[in-house]
Amino acid sequence: MLRPEEDRRILERTNVDHEAQASRIKAQFLAGFEAVDRIGRPGATVFGSARVRKGHTAYAGAQEVGRLFAEAGFAVITGGGPGVMEAANRGAQEAGGVSVGFNIALPHEQHENAYLDISVTFEHFYARKVMLVKAAEGFVLFPGGFGTLDELFEALTLMQTNKVLDFPVVLVGRNYWRGLLDWIHAEPLAERMISPEDEKLLFLTDDPAEAVETVLECYERRCAEVPAEAVKADAQ
């Protein structure tokens, strides 16, 4: 496994063994693609903070989401770590479903949780992020930090630019997410940095059952297979 300082060398402009680094990246993608193939059913990816613990409302909500997806025959995919990720994987596994973790090697905080049926630990964020999208029919996001926000805006950008067809992106926790959505409406939308249709890519709820139903309903009517008619703004 790469040490953090070795991983940083890939992002440096000079002094990189390009062939060796490209080979390592290829191996990461291949391991991820093979893991996605093993899932064998539709899935939903759940994001949220690694720092919450059992007893937190986000932990309880994510565990419920994991259970409901499993009971509906969906796999539950997470970043494989603690907190919200653990809760969602736990809910899925305890309900008899398929629980998947695409973990990331970090020098602190991130460790693999104990509720995974399929697991891959990645050295590079970009390989991991591809799998979190590739395996999913929708995203459910609980409160989280920069990593959760990164996944949120990456999903929106992929849909806005038609790199992927539109699929549900559900934010759970009105109090947590409301300020961000208000800012998107008041600033990027008002300044025409995004289109009105882009704002509609997000769903907001406090109810884990509604979050799951939003993804299931889209899957059942195959909404992610129908390209949006809206004119997409540049992702700038």
- The predicted-structure confidence for 132-161, as pLDDT tens digits, reads as follows 999 999 999 999 999 999 999 999 999 888
Q: What is the 3-state secondary structure (H, E, C) of 170-188?
A: EEECHHHHHHHHHHHHHHH
Q: Count CA within 13 A, CB hemisphere, residue 176.
A: 18
In the chain, domain spans: 4-225
Residue with the two structure tokens 């990720």: 85
Q: Mean pLDDT, the chain, as a whole number?
A: 89
**Least confident span in 101-115, 121-135, 190-204:** 101-115
Kindly tell me if the per-residue pLDDT of 226 is higher than 80: no
**Least confident span in 82-96, 100-114, 148-162, 183-197:** 100-114
CATH node for 4-225: 3.40.50.450
What is the tens place of the pLDDT at every residue in 56-73?
999 999 999 999 999 999
Residue 107: pLDDT band with limits 50, 70, 90: low
Kindly tell me if the per-residue pLDDT of 53 is higher than 50: yes
Residue 229: pLDDT band with limits 50, 70, 90: very low
pTM across the whole model:
0.87
Rounded to an integer, the average pLDDT of 66-81 is: 98
Distance CA(162)–CA(180), nearest Å, equals: 23
Distance CA(24)–CA(2), nearest Å, equals: 10
